[in-house]
Amino acid sequence: MNTSPSSAALIAAGRRALEIESRAVAELLQRVDARFARACELCLAATGRVVVSGMGKSGHIAHKIAATLASTGTPAFFLHAAEASHGDLGMVTRGDLLLAISNSGESPELLALLPPLRRLTVPVIALTGRADSTLAREATLHLDVSVREEACPLNLAPTASTTAAMAMGDALATALLEARGFTSEDFARAHPGGTLGRKLLLHVADVMRRGDELPRVTTAAPLEHGLVEMSRKGLGMTSVVDDQGRLLGVFTDGDLRRALDKGVDFRTTPMHDVMTQQPRHIGPQELAAEAVNRMQEHRITALLVVDATGHLVGALNIHDLLRAGVL
């Protein structure tokens, strides 16, 4: 009768798998050598795309490596090795490079690609677990991603071998990234929908409130008008401007408390007498992330936006930045 494994046995099995896979990756360090540098040079010399291909589990790894390359400055795409022989090979052109992944180095679908690619003079970099395999011998360059054993207790399921292949692919991608001078701004442009993209691409002008949404009163307006504007616009403050719309001050909840303490007359006291002069502000072309930094630095929840001539053009608060995904 089968019994359920104990928690200790499950933990031991999981740790064993991680130990095997971490050792497999660690052993790759000695293989990042002159051959690795040559592989990078071939990728950098390619005038087209890096085409990444594999079958089975290696195909899944190839798909991931292609995506990593493409998002870090090296144009790349995944080619299904089996579909390639049925028309998809037409996606490969002169100037491209093939990165072929196969643990055995004997995947027939990959080997079938070599003759037509040779006619196109497309270089082939092979990532295999066997240096004496057909793919390793026929490739322009071979990178050894062999492992001592799989993490699978049967030593059958691709586990450590796929981890090693993916790690080597990541090493290639990051080395190429550095060689190309790829920056965080470049990364953001490739990931406009991600958090980093929003932080690095969104400007204050993209998220600020403008026009009739702006809370503003003139310096001569009575305090009660300022309170109405604060309430109507929902930013917890109002700007105070001159007749030409230049920013002169701000009136916030803190200013209101101080006015109450002084017992000022809300109907007769002008905004000029109760506003905070030289308020914190930001330019419309600065990054929205910088608005976050200033709010955190000065412990405020809203900022006024002023152009180069000192005119009020916008306003935003922490909730606007949250909605935009900057926080």
Q: 147, 182, 217 — which closes off a domain? A: 182
| CATH number of the domain where residue 280 is located | 3.10.580.10
Quote the pLDDT of residue 199: 64
Range 258-261 contact pairs with CB under 8 angstroms and sequence separation of 24 or more: 259/223
| CATH number of the domain where residue 99 is located | 3.40.50.10490
**Domain assignment of residue 189, yes or no:** no
Quote the pLDDT of residue 5: 87
168 and 56 within one domain: yes
167 and 33 within one domain: yes
Range of the domain at 85: 7-182
How many domains does the chain contain in total? 2
Contact present, 54 and 102 (Cβ < 8 Å): yes
Q: 182, 216, 247 — which closes off a domain? A: 182
Q: 150, 182, 214 — which closes off a domain? A: 182
Dig out the tokens for 196 from the structure: 């980093």
225 and 165 within one domain: no
Contact present, 98 and 123 (Cβ < 8 Å): yes
Instruction: State the helix-helix crossing angle for 7-26 and 160-179, rounded to 10 degrees.
Output: 40
pLDDT, mean of each 10-residue run, the chain (327 residues)? 82 96 97 97 96 96 95 93 90 96 96 94 97 97 97 92 97 95 70 60 89 93 94 91 94 92 92 93 91 90 94 93 81
Q: Please compute Rg for the chain using Cα positions.
A: 31
289 and 215 within one domain: yes
Quote the pLDDT of residue 2: 62
| Cα–Cα distance measured from residue 225 to residue 20, given in angstroms and rounded to the nearest whole number | 71
73 and 213 within one domain: no
Nearest to 256 by CA among 231, 280, 281: 231
Quote the pLDDT of residue 323: 85
Nearest to 169 by CA among 249, 283, 74, 289: 74
**Domain assignment of residue 1, yes or no:** no
**Domain assignment of residue 109, yes or no:** yes
**Domain assignment of residue 197, yes or no:** no
129 and 25 within one domain: yes
| Cα–Cα distance measured from residue 252 to residue 302, given in angstroms and rounded to the nearest whole number | 10
Quote the pLDDT of residue 191: 57
177 and 43 within one domain: yes
State pLDDT tens for residues 178-195: 999 887 666 666 655 555
221 and 177 within one domain: no
**Domain assignment of residue 236, yes or no:** yes
State pLDDT tens for residues 42-89: 999 999 999 999 999 999 999 999 999 998 889 999 999 999 988 899
| Cα–Cα distance measured from residue 179 to residue 172, given in angstroms and rounded to the nearest whole number | 10
137 and 219 within one domain: no
145 and 215 within one domain: no
Contact present, 138 and 111 (Cβ < 8 Å): yes
State pLDDT tens for residues 11-29: 999 999 999 999 999 999 9
143 and 11 within one domain: yes
Quote the pLDDT of residue 200: 65
**Domain assignment of residue 41, yes or no:** yes
Please tell me whether residue 139 adopts helix, strand or coil conformation: coil
**Domain assignment of residue 188, yes or no:** no
Contact present, 139 and 130 (Cβ < 8 Å): no
Dig out the tokens for 72 from the structure: 């870090």
**Domain assignment of residue 242, yes or no:** yes
Instruction: State the helix-helix crossing angle for 56-71 and 160-179, rounded to 10 degrees.
Output: 20
136 and 93 within one domain: yes
Return the percent helix, strand and coil in the chain, to nearest 5.
50, 20, 35
